[in-house]
Amino acid sequence: MKNIIIKVIVLSLLLSSCKTYKRTKFEYHFGKGKNEWINMYKTDVFLSCMKKGYDNDDFYKLISKKDLLVPYEPILFQYSKIDTLTTKIIKNMPRPIYPHCDDCTNEQEQEILRKNYICASCLNYYASSDLDSIAKKAYKQYKKGAL
């Protein structure tokens, strides 16, 4: 009987520790609650990452012709933190190790090797639990300053 109880407890602990990655459903709502603020922070990080990755101020100019970027600007006090985060992501992004085509010429292979996975890296960082926790801490700081 004691053996069965131990097995049930161990099994329960194992099952409770196996949580799946859970995201909220997509919606267009741009309110000013906690989740919206966190999403806007993460969006700012994503856009900053893309701008740094392409190393071009014209990136924002081109996009801003049709895009308002983020619905509101609660993030200004965090600009240096966002700048540091995105600089680190771009700086530490590994270079591609091989061309993605079998029949490339040497010139085409060299062109491919000069490129990188900027968009994919920035998007993966946006969706990471690392950025989730950073954004939640930033929100707490924002609320302390906003009160």
Model confidence pLDDT, tens digit, residues 121-137: 999 999 999 999 999 99
Residue 129 located in a structural domain: yes
> Higher confidence at residue 36 or residue 8?
36
Match 């591609």 to its residue by tokens: 96
Q: Is 34 domain-assigned? A: yes
Provide the percentage of residues in the chain whose pLDDT is more than 70: 71
Residue 62's domain comprises: 29-98+105-146
- pLDDT of amino acid 29: 62
Question: H-type helices in the chain, by residue range?
Answer: 2-17, 34-54, 58-63, 79-91, 106-113, 118-126, 129-146
Residue 30: pLDDT above 80? no
CA distance 41 to 52: 16
The answer to whether residue 128 is domain-embedded is yes
pLDDT for residue 8 is more than 70: no
Mean pLDDT across the chain: 79
**pLDDT value of position 97:** 73
Give domain status of residue 4, yes or no. no
Task: Decide if 78 is inside a domain.
Answer: yes
Is residue 73 in some structural domain? Answer: yes
CA distance 8 to 1: 11
How far is 70 from 135, CA to CA, in rounded Å?
Answer: 15
Residue 12 lies in a domain: no
Number of domains in the chain: 1
99 CB-near residues (< 8 Å, 6+ apart): 108, 109, 112, 113
In a domain, 85, yes or no: yes
